[in-house]
Structure formats: C-alpha cells, structure tokens
Amino acid sequence: MAFSPLIEQLIGSLRCLPGVGPKSAQRMAFHLLERDRQGAGELADALNEAIDKVGRCSRCNTLSESELCELCSSESRDDSLLCVLETPLDVLAIEQTGGFGGRYFVLGGHLSPIDGVGPEDLGIDKLLARVREGQVKELILATNPTVEGEATAHYIAAQLNDLGIKLSRIAHGVPVGGELEYVDGGTLAHALAGRRSLL
C-alpha cells in the first residue's frame, strides 16, 4: 500500500534520525498524526527554532545559541587545560562527571579518508591556532577509542609535538564494575598498556 505524498515525505524525513529505519519511521509518523498532533506541532516548532537559532560557539565549536557558549563564557574554567572531543555530546558526557574544570574544543567528527573527512573539515587549524595563543599547558585528546579516533588523536599530537605543551590521551580499559572474563581482548590490551603505579 502506498501512502499519500505528505505521509511519505514525513516518513522519509524521520528516517534521517540515527537508528530509525523504515518501520520505526512509519510508527513515529502515524503516532504523531493519529495520536499526538499537538506534540507534532510542538516538535516542528522546536526543530524550526533550533535550526534558526543554534549555531557553533566561535571558541570551542560546540553547539550554542550565542557566539560564545556557556562554558567558554565562564571565568571559573581553567584555561591551561584543553580537552579535544569529537562531538558536543562528548562535552556533555564529560561535564556530567563533574571531574573536569578546563576548556573544550569540539572537532565535529574524526579523520576518515574513506569518507573524505580530512584535517580541514575538523577545524584542526583552528585548534592549532588556539594552542599557539600560549594559554594551554596540557592538551587532553579525548577522541573515541576507534580506529578513526585513534588516528585523529595521533594526527593532532604530531601537529603539536614541537610546541612544548603536555599532550595526554584519555585512558581506555576495563569499565568500573566490569569483570575481566567478559572484557574483549582489545580493551584488555589497552588497560594493560595504560596501567599505572599504585605507590
């Protein structure tokens, strides 16, 4: 059965969301049209307003409604620590720990030659310029522990190697509460390589 053009358009639009396939998109579309038209209208209004008003922070590149995001505007943050992340969601994850008081830089992805994503697409030149300003004493590379994330971290480290700042990489390994017998070999190898002294 073919749906009307507007329903097909709605289903197609919902499929742009991550993890939403054809059946999920159909369920969402019909739920909004049959059971929650008010919610659908509020969703449409919120999306339109966010698209119009949310941009990128001019300093750290995260999503922001103003030129400088709340974190970059804060005077209580430590300018000597700069944490490099792949996405704005990664900033949120680190902020929720409450354990980091430095500044951030969001790349907006990772190096991926297969997908045509190079250093110029990630604003790495902007990151290098920020570090060269001289306030940053330690750069924490917190890209994801994937092949692309590791390659991105190594590329950035190579670009900054001669600037005399401390370069560190977030630790990877066994999660708190995890049992060794259930941890994959790659994660265990990272955990062993990144071990630290207790005394």
pTM recorded for the entire structure: 0.83
pLDDT category at 139 given cuts 50, 70, 90 is: very high
What confidence score (pLDDT) does residue 1 get? 66
Q: Look at residue 52 and tell me if it is in a domain.
A: no
Contacts of 10 (CB under 8 A, 6+ apart): 29, 32, 33
Nearest alpha-carbon partner for 108 in 77, 65, 152, 75: 152
**pLDDT of 46 over the 90 cut:** yes
Residue ranges making up the domain that contains 119: 77-171+184-193
Q: Around 19, how many Cα atoms within 13 Å sit in the side-chain half-sphere?
A: 0
In a domain, 37, yes or no: no
Amino acid identity of 167? L
Separation in Å, CA 79 to CA 92, 102, 103, 113, 133: 18, 6, 6, 32, 11
Is residue 61 one of the residues assigned to a domain? no
User: CA–CA distance from 30 to each of 3, 4, 10, 20, 193 (Å)?
Assistant: 11, 12, 9, 14, 51
Interval 145-179: pLDDT, tens: 888 999 999 999 999 888 889 999 988 777 777 77
- Judge whether 8 lies within some domain: no
Number of folded domains in the chain? 1
In a domain, 25, yes or no: no
Determine, yes or no, domain membership for 83.
yes
In a domain, 146, yes or no: yes
pLDDT of residue 126: 92
CATH number at residue 101: 3.40.1360.10
Residue 182's pLDDT is: 78
Residue 28 lies in a domain: no
Structure tokens at 167: 């370069």
* Mean pLDDT for the stretch of residues 78-104: 94
Contact 56, 45 (CB under 8 A): no
Lowest mean pLDDT among 70-84, 117-131, 160-174, 184-198: 184-198
